[in-house]
Structure 1
Amino acid sequence: MSADYSEMLTLKPFSVDAVWLGEITSRVDMKMRSYTSNFSAFLPIVQHAMCE
């Protein structure tokens, strides 16, 4: 992977970096959204358990 990636970087540094960064950003965004939705669904259960 690293060899192919460095080869692509030397050929087209800007376009590859832009696509790569966009891919990482979208993945992180999706993960954060799923985490937040899971957390907001889980929060009432935690609060209920702490109140008892």
Structure 2
Amino acid sequence: MGKQPVKMRAVVYALSPFQQKIMSGLWKDLPAKITHKVSENWISATLLLTPLVGTY
């Protein structure tokens, strides 16, 4: 059997300048979101940070 050429298509995803306003909502009030998540999951955060601090 001979080799057959395979057609390849490249797809590039990008945000238009008009839609980048939507992304700002992710960074809005970021410290409060992090504090809220850590306070909800403080046991998991402790188990994550203890080995990191212990090895340093």
Q: TM-score, normalised by structure 1?
A: 0.35
Q: TM-score, normalised by structure 2?
A: 0.34
| Higher fraction of helix | 1
Q: Computing the radius of gyration over CA atoms, which structure comes out larger, 1 or 2? A: 2
Q: Looking at both structures, which has the greater relative contact order when contacts are Cα pairs under 8 Å and sequence separation is at least 6?
A: 1
